[in-house]
Amino acid sequence: MVFHMKTTLNIDDGVMHRLRKEAARRGVTMSALVEAGLRRVLDERGESGGGGTSLPRLPSWSSGGTRVDVASREELYAAMEGR
């Protein structure tokens, strides 16, 4: 048995226009074309996210440590007032 899930997607108007034209040209529904495109993208990367290109590492830096104890209202007020 095959199940289908209905969902709502926000798609740019220009992309939607191209989708309509391409679906009509191929004689398929827009849903079928979107699903085929999603399958292609997922197959490239692997559904587990382990295959394909990986995302670049996020940048990291030293913040210099904490200036105040955020649990201390007095220290927070003093830091905000520049004392």
Long-range contacts of the stretch 38-46 (C-beta < 8 A, 24+): none
pLDDT of residue 53: 64
Q: Write out pLDDT tens, residues 54-68.
A: 778 888 888 777 778
pLDDT exceeds cutoff 90 at 79? no
**The pTM is what?**
0.50
**In the predicted model, what is the mean pLDDT of residues 18-47?**
89
Residue 70 has a pLDDT of: 82
* Cβ neighbourhood burial of 23 (10 Å; 0-12, 13-18, 19+): middle
DSSP character string of 29-60: -HHHHHHHHHHHHHHHH-TTS-SSPPPPPPP-
